[in-house]
């Protein structure tokens, strides 16, 4: 473990204690198992991971997520084991176009929301309400 990893772990443990969150509940708690990816490679892996999660658990209309199926999927296991430890090195400055950076941030947001929902056992999702106008 590098000094930076140790300092990050200490910071997260301190913040976690103050917020009542255990260290093992942190999404990217472990160091990556292999060499770091470039910003472009990580953005591509994030897009692939988001697509794999959608394929694993979202219905054909793109409206409902089956969180039980998601939590048991290989895509979710790969996300937790392979992709999320790399997020600490995320640097999207290598993406030249604003649209590429924005798409990557949206993919990251979607992946993190799905992960948090599964990891923390949220049983009710957010649903779209019909318009009253």
Beta bridge partners of 113: none
80-to-42, 47, 119, 123 alpha-carbon distances in Å: 14, 15, 10, 20
The alpha-carbon radius of gyration of the chain (Å, integer) is 16
- List the chain residues with pLDDT less than 70: 15-16, 19-35, 123-133
DSSP class of 26: S
Element (H, E) at 35: none
Give the tens place of pLDDT for each residue, 43-73: 888 889 888 988 888 888 888 888 888 899 9
pLDDT of 79 reads 85
How many residues are recorded in the chain?
133
Entry pTM = 0.64
pLDDT of 26 reads 55
């Amino acid at each position: 473990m590098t000094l930076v990893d140790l300092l990050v772990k200490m910071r997260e443990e301190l913040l976690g204690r103050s917020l009542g969150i255990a260290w093992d509940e942190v999404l990217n708690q472990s160091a990556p198992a292999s060499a770091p990816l470039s910003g472009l490679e990580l953005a591509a892996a994030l897009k692939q991971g988001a697509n794999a999660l959608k394929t694993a658990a979202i219905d054909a209309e793109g409206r409902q997520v089956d969180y039980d199926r998601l939590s048991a999927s290989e895509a979710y296991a790969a996300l937790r084991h392979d992709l999320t430890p790399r997020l600490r090195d995320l640097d999207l400055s290598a993406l030249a176009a604003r649209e590429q950076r924005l798409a990557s941030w949206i993919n990251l947001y979607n992946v993190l929301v799905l992960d948090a929902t599964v990891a923390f056992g949220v049983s009710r999702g957010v649903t779209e309400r019909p318009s009253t106008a």
